[in-house]
Chains A and B, each alone.
Chain A
Amino acid sequence: MGCQGHTMHRCHSLDLHLLPGGGEAGVKAGSWTVLEIVEALGSCLQSPEPLTRGRGLQLLSQVLLQCHSLLQEEEVTHLVLFYENRLKDHHLLIPSVLQGLRALSMCEVLAPGLAVSVLKAIFQEVHVQSLPQPERHTVYSIITTFMHTREEELKGLGADFTFGFIQVMDGEKDPRNLLVAFQIVRDLILRDYVLGPFVEELFEVTSCYFPIDFTPPPNDPHGIQRDDLIVGLRAVLASTPHFAEFLLPLLIEKMDSELQSAKLDSLQTLSACCTIYGQKELQEFLPSLWSSLRREVFQTASEKVEAEALTTLHSLAACLSRSLLNSDTEDLLDSFLSGILQDCRHHLCEPDMKLVWPSARLLQAAAGASFRATQRITSSVLPLLLEQYNQHAQSSQRRTILEMLLGFLEIQQKWGPQDEEESALLRSRAPLSSVVFSALTDRSVQLQLVGIRALTVLGTLPGLLAPPDVELVVDHLTRLILDADDSQSCMAAMEAAGSLAPLYPGVFSGRMVRRLAEELQSEREEEGQPSLRARCRQALAAVSTHPSIVRETVPVLLQCVQQGQKGSVPADACDVVATCQSLQRVAVQCQGDAESCWYYHQTVVPRLLAAALQATMQEKACPPLGKLLLEEDTLTAMVPVIRAASTHLSPELAAQSVSQVVSLFLDGEVSFLPQDSFSCPFRPFQAGPCAASQRRLVALLMAFVCSLPRDVAIPQQDRLLRELLALSCSCECPFSATAAAKCFAGLVNKHPAGQQLDELLQTVVNRMEAALAAGPCRSQALTLLLWVTRALVIRYHPLSSRLTDQLLGLLGDTELGPSVADGFSLLMADSPDVLHRGCHADVRIMFRQRFFTDNMPKLVQAFHAASPDVQANYLKGLSHVLNYLPRPVLVPELPTLLSLLLEALSCPDCVVQLSTLTCLQPLLLEASPVLSLHVDTLVTKFLGLTASPAMAVRIAALRCIHALASLPTPVLLPYKPRVIRALAKPLDDRKRLVRKEAVVARGEWFLLGSPGR
């Protein structure tokens, strides 16, 4: 007894001394050797009392876990032998023994042979599945470690290793362990360990978990999801063809299961297997697999299962197509497809057409697997469908058949050009095109639309359209574009023309483009309905998808623009705007091709400039027509055309063009324009007879210079900047002044940093401050300030904070305050014309977040200091900033802004109300506790806003009331009667969208505190 007491005591003292970290630190530092620790623990390790031995062993294992990397080979050998021996010890000790072995398994200096001996000992001495979960996990860890580091030695064990592991794993229940175990099995198979006679056992021990049925407990700290296990197990089952004979019957059985999840898992696993299986594995099971798959599609219970079944069929067919054939085996693909055809083909001909779609989907899934499969199935189905089409007379049935046909054609498209002369498709060429053409002339729009799609596919398949057919196709499309009553058919025909034009450019330009151009010409004389002109212009743009066609359509479209200037037709601004939109589309389609892009730029930019210039001269002569091109709408529509023509230019060509355009604006150098005699000189930056209208063209200058790549140098940039600055600060016409300000800002944004930029900005700041202080041009100066601020904010320029401060100060200005508040949206939003990435501006990511973090405290502070009559400006500014901020950034900041937001709800401005409501709604849905304190205010304000004159505000307010119901019920119950009563009124709102929200909100409030919610 005394002796035992002594050891106990000693052990305790060791405990205190060594833990935590004492012993490990000692060994690490080299002051203790492992031997010394073992000796110190000696009496404890030899104690007859298992508890005491256990404590000693636990301590030693913990030391080893910390220090295994420092051990010497000899030490490791001794320790391994010691631990192996201890596996035979009392069961209480096993956890510590396994920990120690795990530590030793990680030693790099483990002598050869020891890994095998450790594993043998574990397999022999330990009944793993009777251990608790953590210890089982330790065993898997040891095995995993050895498999990574001692692969060769383990393989020396042969099938014994596999068998040992099977015994270890057999009966495992814990999902954490299963994930590791599945990984081990997978490695066993993929790294070619010897499975020997144990293939079936290994399959049994893993497949018993299939299909995985596991729901993670609530608040599961391990975060293992059902899908993790499914994927882990599937990787095992689908890792080797050796499992096929066992797995396929299992999958077939589970596909017949009632459980949708089991069906899905089986189908997905089968698909995964198809990537490694061959004919041999599948052969025996093909009939049952097919009948199961067919059932899932024919008697579909869920779209998911159906889609999965189709995918699986596709994989099966692909697998059979891939397999190599011996000379003596039959081609299974052929017999498999024959079976499918036999079961599905007749459904396509049944008059009630009940099962046509499932059959077509099955056939298409199989056909899409390989070129061979496509040929086999199309050659059988295509003639049948063509015959069916001609037998059915109704448009709706014909449409169904043509849609199926289209599906098969699209599959054919997948394989690209094939040199097989006798393809099924080529044989049916004539009837196929006659079917498609008949659809195009049918009265049913739906059938026409399918016909157009089929035509597009047909046209892209090589050799299917004979040259006369191509002409016919183009004529059909032209007819649909010009005459179709339905705009859908017309649009579809334009799209089809766009896709086919690059394949047959000659036919399209010779027939369609010419016809459309003629139509535009003749219309001019007859003054026909405007929609036909619009269609012609749109179609010209749509078909401009090939360089040679672009060269023909662009002049026609440009002529339409010039019509407005020449005044031969009383064209209206809408016409010119629409033409510009078509021109822009052409420009975008040209951007990919450098040559077309340059042609387009060279042709369009000078001619648009010349046309506009001509208009400025004519002003006095015939005011109404000449001015058309100078109207704000028209010029604004030309901006995107010039921008699209300039953003994708190569730097050399851009440099050539920029010098011409800049000298036109600065020096009146008109020689590069197609028409170079004008009645008065072009001097937009100087006072002159036509200066007021000439200045409007600065918008076009902006469109061009602000769209160039950043590395294109702009000649005379300083002079240009000075002129723009002067114009923006002094011009009386807001349109010209704004264009100049935007142009200036666009250039400043791309200006390289440095002294030159700093000096320039200093001039601007002085100039703006002077103009803002007093005088007639305050609002122009504000516009300039806003644009320059945006230019600097998006590139993180240090001066931007000074300018922003100035704007914040101006919010308190009684005269300019409201415009400043609106201007905040300009700072945050992407402008279509300048200062965005599309026109190569210097835009840093997350500039909005940065603007928000930098300026929000100042804005809040300034709001509280402001006098009540200008406070609304601050709220509006805030609203704009919040509106453009990404939600995830906004939500954490909202509690600090809450008091301001509550204030903003009382602001009479609709913009403020709307943005505040949209900000509050997500906060309410998250039921932030801070909101519960303000329920009274929130309920009152929201209910008040449901009577707002603006529909959007009423809708937002009702959504907030709905979201309010997420707050804790006890807080809300006192308000329930009031809210329900008040919501009766919006139920009778004159707008349906408002009523819809009111119904949802009121319904939710009825359920509050009521049983069955």
Chain B
Amino acid sequence: MVGAPGGGSPLENANPLIYRRSGERPVTAREEDDELPDSIDDREIFDLIRSINDPEHPLTLEELNVVEQVRVKVNDAESTVVVEFTPTIPHCSMATLIGLSIKVKLIRSLPERFKVDVHITPGTHASEHAVNKQLADKERVAAALENSHLLEVVNQCLSARS
């Protein structure tokens, strides 16, 4: 499906623009109240994916502005999540891998009732359509995760940064 980052090959985008990380979400008094339910909101979904590591750089998707909170839409009542991500350059070969990491992170972190849609921000990637198609195909996602090499790269993206 995609190639893992090549061992010795030079980085595609060696000097990316770096964006500020948003801080930890402040805990509100309401969140600490045992009685009141908190619905799942956009920020909560964004917090799940913002710390995913980029496969190429020692930076998070948030720092590279690949994911932004405004491009995350969740509807708790209807159990749907839509995430748009923006590759740093239009020819980024990592796009599918990044999308896959986001998708896997959401599948692992969200209740099963949710339908997860991850796709490229329209008009920001050369092969946008092909990538989106791969990400939307359940079987291909499952098959990709059977590939232990690919799984390793995805897991590395999802590991907590030490």
B-binding residues in A (CB < 8 A): 950-952, 984, 987-988, 990-993, 995-996, 999, 1002-1004, 1006-1007, 1010-1013
Contacts and interface: CB of A to CB of B under 8 A. Distances in A.
Interface string B30-62: 011010011010001001100000000000000
Contacts of B154: 1012
Given A987-B111, A988-B111, A988-B113, A993 B151 contact: no
A1012 B153 CA distance: 6
B79 to A, nearest CB: 10
Contacts of B27: 993
B158 A999 contact: no
A1013 to B, nearest CB: 6
B159 A991 contact: no
A995 to B, nearest CB: 7
A951 B34 CA distance: 6
A999 B151 contact: no
B78 interface: no
A1007 B158 CA distance: 9
A33 B37 CA distance: 91
B111 to A, nearest CB: 4
Q: Which 3 A-B pairs have the closest CB atoms?
A: A1012-B155, A1012-B152, A988-B111
A991 B155 contact: no
Contact of A991 (B37, B151, B152, B153): B37
Contacts of B40: 992, 995
Given A990-B37, A990-B38, A1007 B159 contact: yes
Contacts of A1013: 155, 159
Nearest to A1005: B108
B134 interface: no
17 contacts: A952-B34, A984-B111, A990-B37, A991-B31, A991-B37, A992-B38, A992-B44, A995-B44, A999-B109, A1003-B105, A1003-B160, A1006-B155, A1007-B155, A1010-B151, A1011-B151, A1012-B151, A1013-B155
A173 B8 CA distance: 32
B156 interface: yes
B108 A1011 contact: no
B85 to A, nearest CB: 19
Interface of B: 27, 31-32, 34, 37-38, 40, 44, 47-48, 105, 108-113, 148-149, 151-156, 158-160
A994 to B, nearest CB: 9
A996 B26 CA distance: 13
Contacts of B105: 1003
A831 B112 CA distance: 47
A999 B48 contact: yes
A992 B31 contact: yes
Q: Which of A988, A992, A995, A999 has the most CB of B within 10 A?
A: A992
B37 A1012 contact: no
Contact of A1011 (B32, B113, B152): B152
A1003 B109 contact: yes
A995 B25 CA distance: 14
B113 A950 contact: no
Nearest to A992: B38
Best-buried of A987, A988, A1006, A1012 by chain B (most CB within 10 Å): A1012
A860 B162 CA distance: 39
B32 A1012 contact: no
Contacts of B34: 950-952, 991
Contacts of B151: 1010-1012
Nearest to A1006: B108
A950 B33 CA distance: 10
B32 A993 contact: yes
Contact of A1002 (B31, B32, B108): B108
Contact of B31 (A952, A993, A1007, A1011): A993
B155 A1011 contact: yes
A1003 B148 contact: no
A500 B154 CA distance: 59
B111 A1002 contact: no
Contacts of B108: 999, 1002-1003, 1006
B3 to A, nearest CB: 16
A714 B101 CA distance: 73
B31 A1012 contact: no
A999 B105 CA distance: 9
A185 B121 CA distance: 62
A245 B137 CA distance: 68
A88 to B, nearest CB: 55
A1011 B38 contact: no
Given A984-B111, A1010-B151, A1012-B155, 7 more contacts: A951-B34, A990-B38, A1006-B158, A1007-B158, A1010-B155, A1011-B149, A1012-B153
A1003 B151 CA distance: 14
A991 B151 CA distance: 31
Contacts of A1006: 108, 155, 158
Contacts of B38: 990-992
A995 B41 CA distance: 12
Nearest to B41: A992
Contacts of B48: 999
Contacts of B113: 988
A806 B157 CA distance: 58
A960 to B, nearest CB: 17
Contacts of B156: 1012
Contacts of B47: 996
A987 B110 contact: yes
Given A950-B34, A992-B44, A995-B44, A1011 B148 contact: yes
Nearest to B27: A993
Nearest to A954: B34
A1007 B108 CA distance: 11
Contacts of B109: 987, 999, 1002-1003
Nearest to B43: A992
A66 to B, nearest CB: 50
Contacts of B32: 951, 993
Contacts of A951: 32, 34
A994 B21 CA distance: 23
Nearest to A301: B18
B19 to A, nearest CB: 15
Contacts of A1010: 151-152, 155
A357 B37 CA distance: 43
Nearest to A952: B34
Contacts of A984: 111-112
Contacts of A991: 31, 34, 37-38
A240 B109 CA distance: 60
Nearest to B48: A999
A691 to B, nearest CB: 42
A1013 B47 CA distance: 21
A995 B44 CA distance: 10
Contacts of B111: 984, 987-988
Contacts of A995: 40, 44
A212 to B, nearest CB: 24
A1013 B44 CA distance: 24
B153 to A, nearest CB: 6
Given A984-B112, A992-B44, A1011-B151, A1003 B31 contact: no
A704 B38 CA distance: 46
